[in-house]
Amino acid sequence: MSSGEVSKLLEEKLLSFKPGSLIRGRVVRVSEGEVIIDIGYKSEGCALLEEFKREKNTIAPGQEVDVVVESLDPDANGLIPLSKEKADVLVNWEKIENYFQQDIPVEGYIFQRVKGGFRVDIGVVAFLPGSQTDIRPLTNPSEYVGMNSFFKIIKIDSTRKNVVVSRRKYLEDAKEQRKRELLRSLERGQLVKATVRNIVDYGAFLEIEAGLMGLLHLNDMSWGRLSHPSQILSVGDQIEVVVLDVNLEKQVVSFGLKQKTPNPWETVAEKYPVGSLVEGKVVNITDYGAFIKIEEGVEGLLHISELSWTGRVKHPSEVLATGDVLTLKVIDIKQEEQKISFSLRQTEPNPWPEIVKRYPVGSVVSGKVYHLTDFGAFVELEKGIDGLLHISNISSREIKHPSEVLRKGQKIEVLILNIDPENKRISLGLKQLGEPGTTKGEDESNNQENLSGDEQGSS
């Protein structure tokens, strides 16, 4: 190439230099705060080091960089003012607009804290509001300066070349995506580790990972009886649970804890056949009986009618207390309904065949009045054995209440009218013996103050 042609090309190149031009140059040297660049012009150019955000610690002589000519008038040092930041905008703006249109995360570098947020290099300089920096509240904003991360572009002004980004939205979207992926990976019967995040009356909410929450229902916590989840769980507990169900559409998962072990009711009939004796612990007492635990997850009912052969028990708490350990007889099993029934009285011989022999119908026996009611009096024949003296069988004359003839504690002779051993009932008669009277020489009521009608009625 002739010298004339070279001169012509140089002249054309020089003519192309004008403020706002995007050109490529080569780094000559890096000084404190400045980068000196050979741009093929009459003078070298100079760009501020702070505009090389990500390259600030790696920029070195010989590297090629894109810059924008700010002015053709040299500064005091004879250098052409250049801008790396404006060059980045020109080079990367189209890419940034595409990312925004397609909602694609963009990688960036937080390089400066400013009022209300941060400046971020994403190829162009973008603004990151403080409220969009993280999912959690900002307690130490300075810790984010120097951080590499991904961001979602949430606002763009093509005219002013302004960009607003959100790291928070990227984190939330990424978290949601991980939740969906995790849900798709879960299978029924799978064991997963979880953390108890909240406890309510009907169960506990567990978090496995990626913020995925699921419900462990109270009914799926134990094969045994639970009245509240707090009996076995606390917030913060780390537990292993079984995945029971996954709903991808609603993003809902349910867990089970008791399903980690076999259902003890599947072998109850084999382990505790009807007629066998078992040992159990009283765990709850009600008006109609007591619930007995014979192993973890297996509880049954000891009905009040199965406490005693004599039928004198008015409430289970008269003979039982929570925590008592008893030997019981299994009298019924409904395996599908998970019900088992016990008897305490059947662990001892039935006394009623002997009672029938000791108190034959037609015999006259002595007894003590221990309770008065509107319909009659209960007379104790011996400890644990009593009979009913109906009001119609007290006196041959008409009376309105047994207290007109009898007093509590009074000893009397009565006639055995009937015995029903199956229902544990003995019917007594007094008028059949003639005029009511006491046994010879004994009337315990003589040593007591007369009881009021109210006391008799409530005794």
Domains of the chain: 13-87 (2.40.50.140), 103-173 (2.40.50.140), 186-260 (2.40.50.140), 264-347 (2.40.50.140), 352-458 (2.40.50.140)
157: enclosing H helix or E strand: strand 148-157
- Find, among 34, 90, 91, 25, the residue nearest to 63 by Cα: 25
**Percentage of the chain exceeding pLDDT 70:** 91
- Find, among 19, 145, 29, 16, the residue nearest to 86 by Cα: 19
- Overall pTM surpassing 0.75 (yes/no): no
Mean of the per-residue pLDDT values for the chain?
Answer: 87
Highest mean pLDDT out of 31-35, 78-82, 147-151, 435-439: 147-151
pLDDT in tens, 4-59: 554 454 455 555 678 888 888 999 999 888 999 998 888 899 999 988 877 777 88
pLDDT at 348: 87
Average of pLDDT values for 222-249? Answer: 91
The pLDDT-based confidence of 110 (bands split at 50, 70, 90) is very high
pLDDT at 160: 82
Amino acid at 23: I
Average of pLDDT values for 142-148? Answer: 93
Residue 318 has pLDDT above 50, yes or no: yes
Residue 125 has pLDDT above 50, yes or no: yes
Average of pLDDT values for 138-167? Answer: 92
Average of pLDDT values for 360-388? Answer: 90
Looking at the chain, how many residues does it have? 459
pLDDT at 352: 85
pLDDT at 14: 54
Residue 115 has pLDDT above 60, yes or no: yes
Residue 249 has pLDDT above 90, yes or no: no
pLDDT at 455: 39
Burial of 50 (0-12, 13-18, 19+ CB in 10 A): middle
pLDDT at 454: 38
Lowest mean pLDDT across 86-95, 106-115, 201-210, 277-286: 86-95
> Are 386 and 380 in contact, with CB atoms under 8 Å apart?
yes
Q: Phi-psi region for residue 257, left (φ > 0), alpha (ψ -120 to 50) or beta? A: alpha
The C-alpha angle 151, 152, 155, rounded to 5 degrees, equals 125
pLDDT at 6: 44
The pLDDT-based confidence of 3 (bands split at 50, 70, 90) is low
Residue 443 has pLDDT above 90, yes or no: no
> Are 106 and 122 in contact, with CB atoms under 8 Å apart?
yes
pLDDT at 5: 53
pLDDT at 448: 40
